Amino acid sequence: SAVIGITDAPQLASDAELATTSTQWAIYGDDANNFLGNDGSWDSSWGTTFTTGDIIGVALDMDNNRLYFAKANTWMNSADPTDGTNAIDITTNTGLMFPAVGAYGNSLHWEVNFGNPPYANSSDAADADGYGAFEYAPPSGYYALCTKNLAEYG
């Protein structure tokens, strides 16, 4: 089963679970269910199930302390990153966040794309500044995680 999210810890131990502190958020999918986790609690009535081969998008808004997850370009929990609708509130963050992925079990394989994918996309959609090669275009106001965007937007 797959886990994807954000954490303020740059590296978690191999036996650590993501979303066990108030400064970590993640979604956990096990083919039939999807859970939102934070501070050791998991909400089983949140989001959309996902499985092998699904493309999960993450939009992080550190200016407004909001987090969003999408499956196949549809934002989970009827969220809309462009207007802030149904965001996950991350106000307990420490101001320094890292992307994180994990698995329950040993057979999971992750392919992560921050804008320079290690695999072929069918669309190679870029952000509004023309950076990145994504399967789906980032929402308006969100940018690929790269040094050029970090220099401009922080």
Sorting pLDDT into bands at 50, 70 and 90, what band is 135?
very high
Sorting pLDDT into bands at 50, 70 and 90, what band is 36?
very high
C-alpha dist (Å) from residue 152 to 29, 54, 112, 128? 34, 31, 23, 13
What pLDDT digit, counting tens, does each position of 87-132 carry? 999 999 999 999 998 887 667 778 899 998 888 888 889 999 999 9
Is the pLDDT confidence value at 76 over 70?
yes
